[in-house]
Amino acid sequence: MSRIEKGLIIVAFFVWSAMMVGAGYVGRMLLAPVELRIERIDHYGSNPHALLDEAWGHVRDHFVGVVPSDTVREYGAVRGALATLNDPYTTFVEPQARALERDHMRGRFGGIGVSFTRNERGEIVLSPMPDGPAAKAGVREGDILVGIDGTPLPSPADLEDVARIRGEVGAPVTIEVLRGPQRERLTFTIIRQTIEVNSVEWRTITTTVRGALATIGHVRIRNFTERTGEEAKRALSALSAADSQAYLIDLRNNGGGSLAAAVEAASEFLNDGIVAIEQRRDQPEIVHRVRKGHTKPTNGKPIAVLVNSNTASAAEIFAAAIQDHKRGLLIGEKTFGKGSVQLIFDLSDGSAVRVTAAKWLTPERRALDGAGLTPDIEVVGSEDAQLERAIRVLSEAIGNARR
């Protein structure tokens, strides 16, 4: 064998060796991800929260600040999961906030009879109800709440911090407040009582029509609770007894509430037909009809409904039914535009998840989600200007009826 042939054989050997090594390397590169993927599928299949636990383990071991409790972590995980739905109305509600929400919908709770606002410094300012437990104990308008049962409020305080004022009827609660420019520190121990918050208020408005006095019944519905239907009936009965010749329904700044309550209240102004149509996933439509069964004092009387940009949800259901049935005129500003229905599911620890489960349509099948209701008569400006315009419209209707 010549020297050249021997050289070629040696070169060929090294080339072959390199190819085998390369093939083995490439083979491992191709096979490794498959094996890794199978291992991870088995791992996470047995524990769907393994990735979260793995990540949180690193946080627990290395985070430089205070690590929240497992409960706080779990609440955050639920919120994060719900956020992937990209629906602002599907939300998680923590236990104390859920208790407040439930009390609000019932229209009664154990408390001391105060409402809260927040000033420019983020402090909680108290406004006691006349003749309520807090007022009788000496709490004054403008007192600043700084502590409950010996525990100072954080600054700024949130709804759940203040919620501790509520509790079992007959049980005491001690509050600490600051009063006046000198910020005098005072302490009050108050026995909780049953506090009822009416969702409906009413009064009569006297006006002159064609030289004669006329009465307009003004009904303000602040929200739709379990008691709204019965409260509306009482209001209309009282206003009918006062010889009201027209009715003004005020839904401004009404953010909604119970759909069933809106249907019941709207039924006081409609004789028959549809109030709203509910559409759920993979289910037949649910048609909410006017509820019958008693004489309605508003029959044949002119109606106007005041709305603004904060009129939303169940309040829009009510207003849309009046508008679609041509039972009355909407006066004011374009409404908020919330055309969805949320179901509330209470969870084992007292928290809850609110899930958007349906869309609703007006009787004429208008979808208002994101669109809102356009008033028949637009009045942009002060609430007084809107009220005055509604009174003029109803006065003209009363005058026309007298001809």
In sequence order, the β-bridge partners of residue 185 are 178
Distance between CA atoms of residues 283 and 4, nearest Å:
85
HSE, side-chain direction, 13 A CA sphere, residue 245: 20
Q: With contact defined as beta carbons under 8 Å apart, do 328 and 320 qualify?
A: no
> Token digits for 95?
């236990």
Q: Which of 338, 340, 351, 395 is catalytic?
A: 338
Helix (H, G, I), strand (E, B) or coil at 13: helix
Q: Which of 244, 258, 267, 313 is catalytic?
A: 313
Distance from the Cα of residue 8 to its chain's centroid = 83
Helix (H, G, I), strand (E, B) or coil at 157: coil
Q: With contact defined as beta carbons under 8 Å apart, do 188 and 138 qualify?
A: yes
* Phi and psi angles of residue 26, each rounded to the nearest 5 degrees, phi first: -65, -40
Residue 329, amino acid: L
Query: Catalytic annotation on 334?
Result: no
Query: Catalytic annotation on 6?
Result: no
Sorted by sequence, the CB contacts under 8 Å of residue 212 that are 6+ apart come out as 402
Largest alpha-carbon pair distance within the chain? 134
* Neighbouring C-beta atoms of residue 79, cutoff 10 Å: 13
> Token digits for 197?
């918050």
Distance between CA atoms of residues 224 and 28, nearest Å:
66
Q: Which of 324, 340, 351, 395 is catalytic?
A: 324
Query: Catalytic annotation on 324?
Result: yes
Q: With contact defined as beta carbons under 8 Å apart, do 137 and 188 qualify?
A: yes
Burial 288-309, CB ≥16 within 10 A → b, else e: bebbeeeebbbeebbbbbbbbe
The DSSP annotation for 141-155 comes to TT-EEEEETTEEPPS
Among 220, 239, 254, 377, CA closest to 298: 239
Distance between CA atoms of residues 72 and 94, nearest Å:
10
**Strand residue runs (E) in 286-333:** 286-289, 303-307, 329-332
Query: What residues are labeled active site?
Result: 313, 324, 338
